[in-house]
Structures are given as structure tokens and as C-alpha cells.
Amino acid sequence: MTTASPLVEVRDLTKTFDVSAPWLNRVIERKTRQFVHAVDGLSFGIARGTTLALVGESGCGKSTVARMLVGLYAPTSGSVHFDGEDSAKTLASSRAAALRRRMQMIFQDPYASLNPRWTVRDIVSEPMQEHALFKTKDEFEARVGELLQAVGLTAADMAKYPHQFSGGQRQRISIARALATQPEFLVCDEPTSALDVSVQAQVLNIMKDLQRAQGLTYLFISHNLAVVRHVSDRVGVMYLGRLVELADKADLFTRPRHPYTRMLLDAIPDIHMSGRERSPVQGEVPNPLDPPGGCSFHPRCPHANARCQAERPAAFEVGAAMVACHAVQEGRIG
């Protein structure tokens, strides 16, 4: 899977937000500037036609990665290459629109992301209009109908409004809209997190079918490892802006290495292959404005020692996996 050149390649990607109080307040209250290192030195590739999932608790930087990949945020440093080209350079050039057409994003909340005053026809066709992707009205109607059918709705649904649909159907409308430009790459930021469990499965299945039929490449973001298990080929686990483990799905689920990955896996109810007891996730993500030194996971880690408190673990390769943990590197845990 890692042999062919990846469609998406991210190197040392970093995003820092300046969250300082306004200048006058800082002077009066004698405060210094404050920064959040939302994404801190991420590197990964996504092979064509495959799904990389990014998981981690809320605030770990997943959405910030998503936004950088589709060009909604500029990276503070590092790069994103799409099909071999540096996205930042392409987005600053006359070829920006052509690149934007090739990648689309699906957001978490299908209620908030669809304009309630627009018909489904208007919503789904907006990207087609933006990119001038049709010539005649007949062609336009046929294409909108096709897109709706591709996600399990009907052409007749195009005359309706979002409120006439359920949550799962609305998310299908969002997917149809994302497909309108015939993208190769879809960034899905918690696409099913707002939906009931039974509906989640339907939407995930539609996404998988579309991937197979159209050769789509996905970045799939979720805080839920159980969901990721259905849809991913490779999984990256994020903690406080850093990638702590990256592995093929089967490897990660049968042989998790990083203590944080183990903690997330232990919390999944119906995982039966390891015989481990289920135990809820321990502790909370620390304040990102003041992250712990050394390994930022050390306050929650059962294997932490003095080195963990002092020294940030560098990522190293174990077979096709990548992990950043002193205990794994030292062979303290296997």
C-alpha cells in the first residue's frame, strides 16, 4: 500500500494559533503572548483509493489538519503535497480552482452545513456552478439527479428543502454536494458523529461504496475508534497536536503499541480478539495552552518514568508502523 506514490503527502505539518489577549490587555495585565500548537510536526501519506483515519480525543488537532489539507488554513510550517505538487504553491497560482475541484470536505453537522432556504438542487449544484461544470439546463438537471442517486436519494428529492429530510439523509445530501466536482480526495471531519448509531452505519456504507465505485481517497476523522474500524485502511492516532502512532488498521487493532492507542482501544465495548476487559478512558486531555513537558501523554500514562517527563519521544518505525514512545523504543512494553 505504501509502494505507489501517495495521492496526499504531508511533511512536518504544523499549525500554531496566536490566542494572545489584545495588546493593551497584555500590557495592563502583564501577560505574555500565548500560542496553541494545534498541529505539531505531522507527517503521513495517503495512498490512492485508500482511507487514512485520524483519531484522538477532542482538541487533539484533527479538524485543524483537515482544514490545512483542503486549503482552508495555511500551515504555519511544513507542507502538503497533492498528486506530487505542493498545495500551498498551487493554491497561490492560477491553478488554484483546478486543485480545489479535486478535493472536497464533508463536515460533522449536516444541520448546520446546509442552507435551510435553499432547495436540494441549489445545495448540490453549488460547486458545479462555482466551477462552471455544465453547459445546458438538461445536463445540469441530469447531473444533480445522478448525484442524488449515487447517495441513495432520488432525483425527485432535488425540489425539496433540507428540513424535509432526516439527519442521515441530510448527510447524504452533503456527500452528494461534495461529489459534484468529481473530486479524487474527500476529507470527512466526523461525518457521522452527529447521527444515531443505526444511521451512522448506513452513511458509512454509502461512503465505502462510493470509494469502491469511484476510486476515492479519504481522510476520515473521528474521535471514535469503533467507527474508524469500519472504514479505514490505515489509522493515525493524534494526541495534543502530535501523531503518536500510525499503522495499518489490522496491525493497530490487534497490536496497538502506544499507551494512548491502548487506552482508546480498551474503551471500545465489543472488541473481542484480545480478551482484554473494557476500561473507560482515564483522565482528560491537558490544557493545550500549557501542555505537559517531555511526552505530553505522561500525566495519563501508566508506563511513564523520569525520561518520559523530561524528553519528548521522537517517532520511529516498527515495520510498516510508526510510533512515538520511549517505553516501546526501550522494549519496556511490547
Ligand X SMILES: Nc1ncnc2c1ncn2[C@@H]1O[C@H](COP(=O)(O)OP(=O)(O)O)[C@@H](O)[C@H]1O
Residues that bind Mg ion (CB under 5 A): 62-63
* Residues in contact with 51: Cβ distance below 8 Å, sequence separation at least 6, in sequence order: 211, 217, 218, 219, 220, 231, 232, 233, 234
Among 40, 46, 53, 62, binds ligand X (CB under 6 A): 62
Among 207, 301, 321, 322, binds ligand SF4 (CB under 6 A): 301
What would the grid cell of residue 66 be? 483537515
Task: Select from Mg ion, ligand X, ligand SF4, none the partner in contact with residue 297, using the beta carbon and a kind-dependent cut-off of 5 to 8 Å.
Answer: ligand SF4
Q: Closest separation between CB of residue 259 and ligand SF4, Å?
A: 4
What would the grid cell of residue 276 be? 482484554
**Phi-psi region for residue 240, left (φ > 0), alpha (ψ -120 to 50) or beta?**
left
Among 103, 151, 295, 321, binds ligand SF4 (CB under 6 A): 295
What would the grid cell of residue 207 be? 461512503
52 lines the binding site for ligand X (CB under 6 A): no
172 lines the binding site for ligand X (CB under 6 A): no
51 lines the binding site for ligand X (CB under 6 A): no
Task: Select from ligand X, Mg ion, ligand SF4, none the partner in contact with residue 303, using the beta carbon and a kind-dependent cut-off of 5 to 8 Å.
Answer: ligand SF4
Q: Closest separation between CB of residue 220 and ligand SF4, Å?
A: 24
Q: How far is CA 36 from CA 40, 69, 314, in A?
A: 10, 19, 20
69 lines the binding site for ligand X (CB under 6 A): no
Chain centre distance of CA 77: 19
Looking at 44-52, 167-175, 267-275, 297-305, which segment touches ligand SF4 (CB under 6 A)?
A: 297-305
Q: In what order do the strands lie in the sheet with 85-86?
A: 35-46, 8-18, 77-82, 85-86
Reported as type and span, the H/E element at residue 55 is: strand 51-55
Among 14, 50, 51, 63, binds ligand X (CB under 6 A): 63
Total chain residues near ligand X (CB under 6 A) = 13
313 lines the binding site for ligand SF4 (CB under 6 A): yes
297 lines the binding site for ligand SF4 (CB under 6 A): yes
288 lines the binding site for ligand X (CB under 6 A): yes
Handedness of CA 230, 225, 222, 246 (dihedral sign): negative
Classify each residue of 96-123 as buried b or exposed e, where b means 16 or more C-beta atoms within 10 Å of its C-beta: eeebbbebbbbbbbbeebbeeeebbbeb
Chain centre distance of CA 252: 17
Q: Interface with ligand SF4 by CB under 6 A: which residues?
A: 258-259, 295, 297-298, 301, 303-304, 308, 313, 325-327
Q: Interface with ligand X by CB under 6 A: which residues?
A: 17, 19, 36, 38, 56, 58-64, 288
